[in-house]
Amino acid sequence: RTVYLNGEWLPEADAKVSIFDRGFLFADAIYEVTGVIGGKLLEYAGHSARLKRSIAELGMELPVSAEELLEIHREIVRRNDLKEGLIYLQISRGAADRDFAFPKEPKPTLVLFTQAKSVIENPKVKTGMSVALLPDWRWERRDIKTVQLLYPSMAKMQAMEKGADDAWLVEDGFVTEASSATAHIIDKAGKLITRPLSNAILHGITRASVLDIAEEAGIPYEERPFSPEEAKNAAEAFITSATNFVLPVTVIDGQPVGDGKPGPLSLKLRELYIAHKT
């Protein structure tokens, strides 16, 4: 792979970052993941807007202009001949002598790489995925897309040890989100229920599009927190993310959701999402 590091295009083995980088020492960094289908960027406007917000929340500035950033995204797709997969972008506060206080003149590290991955064809669309419920022990600013991903990573591993595909995290009696995706359910009346935006969850770009698509398709929705019990008794459940689009969830903590098969509205939303966005 050819990767991007601070203005340079390099073979991945030659891209080196300092051991003093604050991304490495403090997780002082934010990231974005943008899907690519047919060599085209998906939902770029949404991802770049969220990136600007994340970076502002950390008191940093984009190290390149908005125009340059878009050009870098396009260029990395070209250089890697990426047809389907994702672009990972990370901006850290850069290398500085280890100190909890931020450096006065940070030199941010901007990194982009691609990952080829089949997104449209996903075997889990047919079977649905299973999730295990685990406590949400992340920090309280989950609206910022930081690289503090140790807990989500541990939660996913614990879920997998229980035989599930992923975790749904629970806080104060309500589901927050999956380890790296937004959680949604559909009640027995066919209404989509999803947690409202707050600092408790990442403001999913796919979530926003799916709500627009639901509205257009005449599928009613309500933004409110839902409990694990409500989720287990729902007609359908699904997740959304840049690299999963809409993916049905058919088992929660070992219990089938609805008839235990991917739900018709979840599958319809997936189809509409693909038709609208790719």
Q: How far is the CB of 221 from ligand PDD (least distance, A)?
A: 16
Q: Which residues contact 73 (CB under 8 A, 6 or more apart)?
A: 34, 41, 44, 87, 89, 112
Backbone angles phi, psi at 133, to 5 degrees: -85, 130
Specify the residue, 5 or 33, whose C-beta has the smaller distance to ligand PDD.
33
Return the bridge partners of 115, or none.
Answer: 86
Catalytic residue (one of 145, 188, 191, 261): 145
Specify the residue, 30 or 96, whose C-beta has the smaller distance to ligand PDD.
30
Position 34 contacts ligand PDD (CB under 6 A): no
145 carries an active-site annotation:
yes
Residue 162 CA to residue 244 CA, distance in Å, equals 22
Under rule CB under 6 A, which residues in 231-270 are in contact with ligand PDD?
A: 240-243
Residue 223 CA to residue 196 CA, distance in Å, equals 5
Of 179, 170, 176, 181, the residue nearest 204 (C-alpha): 181
Number of residues that bind ligand PDD (CB under 6 A): 14
Backbone angles phi, psi at 60, to 5 degrees: -115, 170
Position 182 contacts ligand PDD (CB under 6 A): yes
Q: Give the amino acid at 41.
A: L
Find the part of the chain contacting ligand PDD (CB under 6 A) among 52-60, 104-112, 203-211, 246-254.
203-211
Position 37 contacts ligand PDD (CB under 6 A): no
Specify the residue, 46 or 94, whose C-beta has the smaller distance to ligand PDD.
46
One residue of 87, 96, 167, 205 binding ligand PDD per CB under 6 A: 205
Backbone angles phi, psi at 255, to 5 degrees: -105, 130
x/- mask, ligand PDD, residues 125-164, rule CB under 6 A, reads ----------------------------------------
Q: Which two tokens stand for residue 232?
A: 């287990």
Reduced to 3 DSSP states, what percent helix, strand and coil does the chain have, rounded to the nearest 5? 30, 30, 40
One residue of 55, 202, 234, 251 binding ligand PDD per CB under 6 A: 202
* Active site amino acids: 145
| Contact set with ligand PDD (CB under 6 A) | 33, 177, 180-182, 202, 204-207, 240-243
